[in-house]
Homo-oligomer: A and B are copies of this chain.
Amino acid sequence: MENHILAENLSRLETLLEERKYTQAAAVVKDLNPADAAVLLEELPEQKVPVLFRLCPKELAADAFAYMSPEAQELLVRSFSDRELDEVMEQLFLDDTVDMIEEMPANVVKKILRHVDAETRKMINQVLNYPKDSAGSMMTMEYVDLKRSMTVEQAFERIRRTGVEKETVYTCYVTDSRRKLEGIVTVKDLLLARKDEVIRNIMETNIKFVSTHTDQEEAARELSRYDFLALPVVDAEERLVGIVTVDDAIDVIEEEATEDIEKMAAMAPSDRPYMRTGIWETWRKRVPWLLFLMISATFTSGIISAYEGALAASVVLTGFIPMLMDTGGNSGGQSSATIIRGLSLGEIRYGDVPRVVLKESAVALLNGCTLAAANFVKLMLIDRVGLPVALVVCATLMAVVLVSNLVGSCLPVLAKRLGFDPAVMASPLITTIVDAIALTIYFNIAKLVLGI
């Protein structure tokens, strides 16, 4: 829903609820898309949320509930009567239920679990036991399973009978008596086949699947690589336990990109959208890296102190320190951002590393020459520093850019190899490392050329 329509609907609803014109309020919401209804509900003042929720048609209310933030869900669950909670829980898909439970305080979880049947409770517990960020923790167990001996007509019957509560019916899974996955058949295959055709003959047996312990990012990427609508998840015995659906895969891909961007900016990734994160939480996510980097920068200061003599002998050198440090940081940051993203998308593999290093070096030489040339002209014509100083600055610039690109391209790869997230090897850390190297190069070239 576009912003202005949302704002319009919102103020109209608030007035109607204020004036207790409930029938009219119900008319406003009744045809909304569940995702839009959720946004609308969340923007209302807290005490109005349960009122409006009760005015929604039952199915819309339950669907909208799945789209709401954990805070709003908690508010509603607390206000629900037993019957209302029953209704919502019955309608909710398993993976949405699990997502919700993961965010709720214990007493609310208890209230929720009282209102699901024993079988669902068992499934919830199973999913909750998979590692965070694994395929198992994001999957849903509500898929359509078929048998290889069924005919197309029988398959359709089964879909019609069980499909309402399944998250997707378009990809069906053929399993044997031990729940081992034997094949996959899509509704498109079924529609295009003869009614008396047997599933065995039309199912795809070259099956792509992930394990419950596969990283959720990898699962999402597998699904996207093959353009699937759902990807089966199997346990250690290769038995089908659930499916990952494309809508959840998109969410994971978005989350993982956000996480990478946060780490690349030297922050601990946050689980919640910015506007719903408190000041203290934001501080906790940011200050450790700032502290660590500040202390690391001490080395840089140490280097400047060590060369105080050289600086005193040629004060003009001090003025170029920021430019050299910044350029090194920027150049290394370019390399590392490129490599980190390439690793994350799977575009760069270990085997590619030699080529990557060569390419980054070549680009560094080109960049270094361009920057040095531009700087040389400026130094001679505008700053008028004299040839020796100009040579020192330009030579340093070229060396710094080369080293920065090498550091920026190798550290992420190294981090990955050691089992860390490459994204932490981004601009802030690279900058700190490159700063120290840049200054050392600078002062040594200066000593050599200027004889100070």
Residues of A bordering B, CB below 8 Å: 3, 31-33, 35, 156, 159-160, 163-164, 169-170, 187-188, 191-192, 206, 208, 224-227, 229, 246-247, 249-251, 253-254, 257-258, 260-262, 264-267, 273-275, 279-280, 282-283, 286-287, 289-291, 293-295, 297-298, 300-302, 304-305, 308, 311-312, 315, 318-323, 325-327, 329-331, 333-334, 336-342, 345, 347-349, 352, 355-356, 359, 362-363, 366-367, 370-371, 374-375, 378, 401, 427-428, 431-432, 435, 439
A156-B191, A320-B301 given; A275·B342 CB < 8 A: yes
Q: Measured between alpha carbons, how far is A279 from B428 in the docked complex, in Å? A: 25
Contact B3 A349, beta carbon cutoff 8 Å? yes
CB-CB under 8 A from A224, the residues of chain B are 247, 250-251, 254
Q: Measured between alpha carbons, how far is A337 from B337 in the docked complex, in Å? A: 13
With CB as the reference atom, state the residue of chain B lying closest to A164. Answer: B192
Contact A206 B33, beta carbon cutoff 8 Å? yes
CB-CB under 8 A from A227, the residues of chain B are 35, 247
With CB as the reference atom, state the residue of chain B lying closest to A304. Answer: B319
5 contacts between A and B (CB under 8 A): A35-B227, A160-B191, A265-B427, A275-B355, A275-B356
CB-CB under 8 A from A374, the residues of chain B are 291, 294-295
With CB as the reference atom, state the residue of chain B lying closest to A294. Answer: B327
Q: Measured between alpha carbons, how far is A267 from B363 in the docked complex, in Å? A: 13
A192-B163, A300-B323, A334-B286 given; A274·B33 CB < 8 A: no
Contact B337 A319, beta carbon cutoff 8 Å? no
Instruction: State which of B250, B254, B323, B367 has its C-beta within 8 Å of the C-beta of A297.
Output: B323
Instruction: State which of B229, B275, B362 has its C-beta within 8 Å of the C-beta of A348.
Output: B275
Closest 8 CB pairs of A and B: A265-B337, A257-B257, A300-B322, A227-B247, A297-B323, A301-B319, A283-B366, A273-B347
